[in-house]
Amino acid sequence: MTQKLIRGRLLSFKRAPHSLTDTDSYAYESDGALLIVGDRISVAGSYGTVKAIAPEGVEEVDHRPHLILPGFIDMHLHFPQMQVIASYAADLLEWLNTYTFPEECRFVESEHAARIATHFYDELLRHGTTTAAAYCSVHKTSADAFFAEALTRGMCMVGGKVMMDRNAPQGLLDTPEMSYDETRAVIADWHGRGRNHVAITPRFAITSTPGQMKAAQALAQEFPDLHIQTHLSENHDEIRYTMELYPEATDYTDIYAHYGLLGKKTLLGHAIHLSEREADALSEAGAVAVHCPTSNLFLGSGLFPMKSLMRREKPVRVAVATDIGGGSSYSMLRTMDEAYKIQQLLGERLNPLESFYLMTRGNAEALSMADEIGTLEPGTAADLVVLNAASTPAMRLRMETVKTLLEELFLLQTMGDDRTVVETYVAGKAMKGGLAGE
Ligand SMILES: [Zn+2]
């Protein structure tokens, strides 16, 4: 197996930080190194220690003075929406009907799906994201393209063929039976191949009949280890319409609970406007509310009460994501900048340790995958991002006055973007360059 020593400043979280002064929550090495053996981190520590253990003449990559972190994880985005991002719409439902649904119809063509998949992974890697939980379109062809490209690049990905059988154009509809059969086919073809994980993916209650919800329930019972991803309480009109479609449900969350779709591996996009009862239900089920700040601001959906959900007596598990194409940036750094501002508007503080924890280990824990990704722990996959906090003239100037790691992290989150990402490693391989070309 090939061995490689990667040198730089290392930052990895051990658990969620309780405060800005919680130095026990992370490990930092100002002159650190990782010994990569094959696709795994074998040793992590100070350069001196790791160098002493490494074999004579091992290849060395020197990223000093840059920061090396676990690769970023994006917990919610839509692979078929790369050409929907930056569409001018009043709100969620107009945005879906006018731009998103017509665009997703194109993914029945495998050639189009394959082309966009190439760009999709290039864009993730340019922004330092090494794992994502993504929605494909309703067509199996889109899931095939999504997982085939992940396999080529050796990336750890979660994805699912969307299930939707009403309230969308004909070209985007399946049926309860088709959605069940095709999801099973996607699982058979892709789950466990390379680092691919298939998620059961009913788009949201508006686009699924009760019959299709039952199909999703059957899949969840048959494949209890799989992730389930859907949307919840993003926008007031959406919530109102959902309750008209499911009049017997107590509230929006109750619809998913009723069909057995709320559990520890359930990822609920947005979850902005939850009642106390709904927050309790998420907490009791261990389901994850996935915050998508750039999307929530772009579509005017609302201010996600992240901090108050986290400190409840029954806390809600929270993750963070871009929600491309409702979101406006592929960058998890830009995402956390907007997350910070949303908490500011709510009179809350989101400190930079929390932000960097969330993008890495926090999201890995939300996926129940922290033993594989999201840290620099020996034995985990060598998925890494290398960040330069002086990557633009304005950042370089600001860095002259930065004294502490925390200040540097906050600068990265406030001003950083794809230019900040020096390199992205997937399973030990430098991958930022991409495959699609210009
Ligand atoms: Zn979404």
CA of 199 to the centre of ligand 1 (A): 14
Give me the pLDDT at residue 435, please. 79
CA distance 374 to 382: 10
pLDDT tens for residues 41-58? 999 999 999 999 999 999
CA of 87 to the centre of ligand 1 (A): 15
- Angle at CA of residue 334, ends 328 and 337, nearest 5°: 120
pLDDT tens for residues 54-100? 999 999 999 999 999 999 999 999 999 999 999 999 899 999 999 99
CA distance 12 to 27: 5
CA of 171 to the centre of ligand 1 (A): 19
CA of 437 to the centre of ligand 1 (A): 28
Query: How does the average pLDDT of the chain come out, rounded?
Result: 97
Taking the model in full, what pTM does it have?
0.98
CA distance 54 to 232: 49
- Letter for the amino acid at 170? Q
pLDDT tens for residues 320-342? 999 999 999 999 999 999 999 99
CA of 143 to the centre of ligand 1 (A): 16
CA of 178 to the centre of ligand 1 (A): 22
CA distance 357 to 382: 17
Phi and psi at residue 143, to the nearest 5°: -65, -40
Give me the pLDDT at residue 438, please. 47
CA of 80 to the centre of ligand 1 (A): 11
CA of 23 to the centre of ligand 1 (A): 34
Give me the pLDDT at residue 262, please. 98
- Contact by Cβ (8 Å): 376, 70: yes
Mean pLDDT of 182-194: 98
CA distance 258 to 46: 51
423 - beta bridge partners?
A: 386
- CB burial readout 11-20, b (16+ within 10 A) else e: bbbeeebeee
CA of 393 to the centre of ligand 1 (A): 34
Pairing mode, strands 266-270 and 227-232? parallel
Give me the pLDDT at residue 433, please. 87
CA of 78 to the centre of ligand 1 (A): 6
CA distance 386 to 245: 47
How many Cα atoms sit within 13 Å of 269 on the Cβ side?
A: 30
pLDDT(225) > 60:
yes
pLDDT tens for residues 350-406? 999 999 999 999 999 999 999 999 999 999 999 999 999 999 999 999 999 999 999
Task: Say which residues have a Cβ less than 8 Å from residue 429's Cβ, sequence separation at least 6.
Answer: 154
CA of 390 to the centre of ligand 1 (A): 32
CA distance 159 to 132: 8
Query: Which of 97, 182, 174 shows the shortest CA–CA distance to 144?
Result: 182
Mean pLDDT of 302-316: 98
CA of 204 to the centre of ligand 1 (A): 9
The residue count of the chain comes to 438
CA distance 128 to 423: 7
**Environment class of residue 389 by beta-carbon count within 10 Å: exposed (0-12), middle (13-18) or buried (19+)?**
buried
Give me the pLDDT at residue 437, please. 60
Model confidence band, residue 434 (pLDDT cutoffs 50, 70, 90): confident
**Environment class of residue 157 by beta-carbon count within 10 Å: exposed (0-12), middle (13-18) or buried (19+)?**
buried
Question: What's the order of all strands across the beta sheet hosting 429-430?
Answer: 40-46, 26-37, 3-13, 59-70, 384-387, 421-426, 429-430
CA of 126 to the centre of ligand 1 (A): 21
Look up residue 167 and give its two tokens.
Answer: 């309230």
CA of 317 to the centre of ligand 1 (A): 18
DSSP for residue 71: P
Among residues of the chain, what percentage have pLDDT more than 70?
Answer: 100
CA of 64 to the centre of ligand 1 (A): 37
